[in-house]
Amino acid sequence: MLFRDRPAERLEELFDREWEVRRLVEAVGGRALTLVLGMRRVGKTSVVKAATYGRLRVYIDARVFEERPYISYDDFLNALRDELRRLLPLHKRLAELVARVRGVSVAGVDVRFEVGRNAPRLAELLEAFDQWAGERGERLIFIIDEAQELVKLRGRNLLPALGYAYDHLRNVAMVFTGSKAGLLLRFLRLEDPHSPLFGRYAERIDIGPFPPELSARFLEEGFRQAGAEIGRDLVERAVELLDGVVGWLAYFGLRALKSPGTALDETVEYAKRLAASEFCHFVQYTGSRRYIHVAKICRQGARWSDVKRYLTAAEGREVSDPEVTKLLTNLVNYGFLEKRGDLYIVADPALRLALGDLRC
């Protein structure tokens, strides 16, 4: 079945993406650091999981931190520990190596980490992974999914460990995905001379939406596999509304198998609701309702000067230049706006729709 409500795990579950998979496989074979970027539900996790299926890998899902205002180092370690609890029973040698790390105890299938000051250091855990991979003559792929969430980590900095891994651990390939490219780049600080990752090269793989013909083929192929007859009209309308975001196409496909008459409306409603809730979350987090105005102004694309003018008109008083720039930059960093030439535009079609009548 082509339509699925969870990320793909294996290559044969992926529709298209041969090129992206090939690039990722090549990158983890030779590069220390690879970034996989793209908007939410475009298929990043699926590409990363399928392309690394059956390889030595440690997968950390930082998406679980999405709703949190900040996270601690212990929270991060908990996520890593959950993955080790899954891996260690399968790999005795890895368990031995991890058990030697200060602050870690392994008893049978259980893994415990000390907390606070005695918590294990990420660099030492990565060294254990490196040694294990080296002994097996393979590379270990260290994946952090939605890594931009780690920007919220307080109390300890992960970058020195990541920089150390980049420079010294030849058997570890790091792969970070991000729905919010700006934030991910800000977290890694590749361009900040004071950052441990300064000047390091990151391979960048962008996962884009499908072009319309491919979206249509995806839907037709999915319906064919499921033995369902769905009219061309409906497929065409779905392709138009869902803008090539494979996660929404798959969601629509699954619903259409049950109730073709209402599936598209339901999908659009759901996508709108999710986009609105995510955006309102951001507005609450920043505490500035100006973001709502700015996003509305940029629904179909607007220049910096348009934003300044509309905002000033809406508020009845001058909004300063640096403030306008800050609002736009943050919206870009958080992935709500994209900059195309000198236009700022809402990239996600669901958010574009949601902004029509949005009240946070």
Ligand X SMILES: Nc1ncnc2c1ncn2[C@@H]1O[C@H](COP(=O)(O)OP(=O)(O)O)[C@@H](O)[C@H]1O
Count CB neighbours of 291 within 10 A: 23
- Check residue 207 and report its DSSP letter: -
Tokens read off for 22: 């090939």
Q: Could you tell me the smallest distance in angstroms from the CB atom of residue 271 to ligand X?
A: 12
Residue 143 burial by Cβ neighbours in a 10 Å radius (0-12, 13-18, 19+): buried
Answer with the entry of Mg ion, ligand X, none that 4 interacts with (C-beta below 5 to 8 A by kind).
ligand X
Minimum CB–partner distance for residue 46 and ligand X (Å):
3
Contact between 45 and Mg ion by CB under 5 A: the answer reads: yes
What is the residue whose two structure tokens read 């609002």?
A: 327
Distance separating alpha carbons of residues 21 and 11, to the nearest angstrom? 9
Q: Which does 24 bind (CB under 5 to 8 A by kind): Mg ion, ligand X, none?
A: none
The least distance separating Mg ion from the CB of residue 11, rounded to whole angstroms, comes to 17
Partner from ligand X, Mg ion, none contacting 46, C-beta within 5 to 8 A by type: ligand X
Segment 223 to 282, residues that bind Mg ion, using CB under 5 A: none
Whichever of 16 and 342 has its CB closer to ligand X, that residue is 16
In angstroms, the Cα distances linking 296 to 150, 300, 341, 343 are 29, 9, 19, 14
What are the Cα distances from residue 288, in Å, to 132, 291, 331? Answer: 48, 6, 12
Distance CA 216, CA 237 (A): 10
Query: What sign does the dihedral 36-180-347-15 (CA atoms) show?
Result: positive
Interface ranges with ligand X (CB under 6 A): 2, 4-8, 14-17, 38, 40-46, 246-247, 250
Comparing every residue's Cβ against Mg ion, the nearest one is 45
Q: CB under 5 to 8 A by kind: which of Mg ion, ligand X, none does 272 bind?
A: none
Binding span for Mg ion by CB under 5 A among 43-51, 154-162, 168-176, 350-358: 43-51
Identify what 250 binds: ligand X, Mg ion, none; CB under 5 to 8 Å per kind. ligand X
Q: Which does 8 bind (CB under 5 to 8 A by kind): ligand X, Mg ion, none?
A: ligand X
d(C-alpha 74, C-alpha 121), whole Å: 11
* Residue closer to ligand X (CB basis): 17 or 255: 17
Q: Which residue is nearest to ligand X (CB)?
A: 43
What is the rounded distance in angstroms from the CA atom of residue 65 to the CA atom of residue 202?
A: 24
Residue 142 has φ and ψ, to the nearest 5°, of -100, 105
Minimum distance of ligand X from residue 153's CB (angstroms): 21
Choice between 143 and 250, CB closer to ligand X = 250
Give CA separation, 138 vs 161, 173, 358, in Å: 21, 10, 50
Q: Closest distance between ligand X and the C-beta of residue 264, in Å?
A: 17
For residue 39, the minimal CB distance to ligand X (Å) is 7
Q: Nearer Cβ to ligand X, position 98 or 245?
A: 245
| Binding site residues, Mg ion, CB under 5 A | 45
